[in-house]
Amino acid sequence: MGTNHGQRQLHLGAFIFGVGHHIAAWRYPLTDTGGLLKLDFYKRFAQTAERGKFDLVFIEDIPVLPEPLNRAVQYTLPVRAEPLTLLSALASVTKKIGLVGAVSTTYSEPFHVARKFASLDHLSGGRAGWNAVTTSMENTAKNFGRDHHLDHSLRYERAKEFVDVVTALWDSWEEGALVIDKATGQFADPDKVHEINHVGEHFSVRGPLNVHRSVQGRPVVVQAGSSATGQAFAAQTAEVVFTAWQTLEEAQSFYASLKGQLPAYGRSPDELKILPGVLPFIGATEEEAKAKEAEFQDLVLPAVGLGMVQNILRVDLSGYPLDGPLPELPDATEINGGKSRYQLLLDMARREQLTIRQLIHRVTGARGHRTIAGTPVQIADQLEEWFVSKACDGFNIMPPYLPGGLDEFVDLVIPQLQRRGLFRTEYTGTTLRDHLGLAEPANRFAQRSATSVH
């Protein structure tokens, strides 16, 4: 592999999910399962990622337990920290690394979300990012006083308007609105603080926000949908996209498709960074890495693995032989869950002619994301191949277990990437936008003021 790729460098997220991404991580002997919901555990994760010069740490949110509840509680680890609470704590024990959390547009209100992330952005010195998710799990509705989950297309309509409202609220205080003149008694310039007066299909919000503009202008907007609807939403609103692909060709196709949609919205391709998820099993030899992966698979109870596949596919597979193929399933257009992940599993099963048991093995580790097992050099080679082949702008790294899974990546793989000139050796900025190479978005109200003057 080559070592010089000009100025283009990888962007890396460290994705925290329970005590590790593998569904059996909590059973693995080296996992700190007792650290769950203890600040020191998450502090170590964030500080290790910062030591590795990662762009950001990312915390997913699933505001519902998987079905069936008895199996989820008895055999899996369904406990999840609320992202904003945890990120606020991590802001005080880190200095540079970005802090990205998922909050649902289907089960939240725009003013709440705008205010919380704006506050986190100030408290962290400009390091906040919001993953605007639409929530795919059907049963979430019952936790929020609703009988039914919104239809897929309606969830995205609501999400688009939700992001519009949130970004307007973040813009409602212009740069320089704070005066803080103790002598005259003027705190702020009222001409630079604006009501947004939004009235739309889903929301009616007056504003302004009660938090002023932050050091990075406004938090970074992240999105994670890869369906056609999700891509259109991302092309209009997202600055980072988390996605899942199994093959180089799929990832290249998605990359070209999504970047190709940006000019229609007056955006250039470098205004959006695409980071697929990767779960690495790292060993001194390829055999050792594969043995480690097999050790994790041996810890997966068959019923648990089957339940995980059924939750993604929304189908009861209990009547089918584990060593037989998937039955005929409906087209992705006919389901109301996560369409892109559903399609990804179907494509993978068909392409590789997987049995149900083999599909379970592929899903229980990375939930449809790509798994790589190998030496640090082999893992760096594969990351480099995707990066230079225009399949991504970097990766969201998903340690199979914690804390060791992240320690290994930072200590063994990061130096490989640095030696090749693919990844920073030091932070060159202090905000999440600095790390990602993203400009501060123009403030819509400042633009209007400037236009009205001329």
* 205-250 pLDDT tens trace: 999 999 999 999 999 999 997 888 889 999 999 999 999 998 999 9
pLDDT at 449: 67
Backbone Cα Rg of the chain: 22
Which are the contacts of 426, defined by CB distance < 8 A and separation ≥ 6?
A: 53
pLDDT on residue 152: 83
Count other C-beta atoms under 10 Å from residue 271's C-beta: 16
pLDDT tens readout for residues 105-117: 999 999 999 999 9
* First-residue to last-residue Cα distance in the chain: 54
Domains of the chain: 11-290+366-453 (3.20.20.30)
Rounded distance between C-alpha atoms, residue 11 and residue 128, angstroms: 16
Percent of the chain with pLDDT over 70: 97
Q: Tell me the residue type at 185.
A: G
Residue 135 has a pLDDT of: 87
**Confidence bin at 1 (pLDDT 50/70/90):** very low
Hey, what are 72's tokens?
């989820």
Give the model's pLDDT for residue 247: 92
**pLDDT on residue 4:** 47
Looking up tokens 């964030």 gives 46
pLDDT at 266: 95
Q: What is the pLDDT of residues 343-360, one digit of tens each?
A: 878 888 888 898 988 888
Phi-psi region of 16 (alpha: psi -120 to 50; beta: other; left: phi over 0): beta
pLDDT, average across residues 317-330: 88
In angstroms, the CA 424 to CA 451 distance is: 40
Strands 198-199 and 220-223: unpaired
- To the nearest whole number, what is the mean pLDDT of the chain? 92
Whole-number pLDDT of residue 2:
43
Q: What pLDDT sits at residue 451?
A: 65
Q: How many CB atoms lie within 10 A of CB 117?
A: 28
Residues sharing a CB contact under 8 Å with residue 363, sequence separation 6 or more, in sequence order: 305, 308, 309, 312, 345
In 3D space, the residue among 101, 87, 222 whose CA is nearest the CA of residue 167 turns out to be: 222
Average pLDDT for 310-335 = 85
82 closest CA partner among 105, 63, 107: 63
For residue 3, name the pLDDT band (cuts at 50, 70, 90).
Answer: very low
The amino acid sitting at 312 is I
Neighbours of 180 (CB within 10 A): 7
pLDDT in tens, 29-85: 999 999 999 999 999 999 999 999 999 999 999 888 887 888 788 888 999 999 999
Q: Is the pTM of this model over 0.85?
A: yes
Which run of H or E residues covers position 290? helix 286-298
